[in-house]
Structure 1
């Protein structure tokens, strides 16, 4: 059966979408999540318009601090979200008696 014309062909992402995906991957990396900080950079093939659009979107994000570095990179820092806080209740975890060493 022939393909229907209504089926959309895969389209290439725009430069801003590609840059956004790259920045998102950098932000979501395990190390960046652990330290709550990442330094992003513009590649030579990233158009200035795409870079500006992504920087504007990041600037509008609540809880995100941006530092524009002298070398053209941007350091993003964020705090722990309220829903990520882990509170341990000491009453649930009573100290266990240490067993005697077998030696």
Structure 2
């Protein structure tokens, strides 16, 4: 005899338009290529509503350290400066040499 399996229900939670757009923008900004060049261009998709677009662009505009340029084609270019010490590769000079214990 086999054991009866328990019925499990999966609750699907839909993301709001602002959350979906924010996730897309965050993914673009955090992409290795964008991090290397320190800029990214965000294009508005047909699925991005006016309210959602304005809210996310407002948050970006209010964020310190970001330079926002609204392009003629409707895209937005976001640029940022490197943070001090962010680019410094880890090397031998970064460590203090400890004296030998003997």
TM-score by length of 2: 0.75
**CA shift for structure 1 position 82:** 2.3
1:16 to 8, 11, 18: 18
Q: Which runs of 5+ in 1 are unaligned?
A: 93-103
2-structure distance, mates of 1:28, 1:59: 17
Q: What TM-score do you get using the length of structure 1 for normalisation?
A: 0.74
> In angstroms, what is the RMSD of aligned CA positions?
2.3
Query: Residues 81 and 43 of structure 1: is their aligned pair in 2 closer, same or farther, counting only changes over 3 Å?
Result: same
Structure 2 stretches lacking a partner, 5+ long: 1-5, 97-102
Displacement of 1:60 in angstroms is 1.1
Report what 1:31 is aligned to: 33
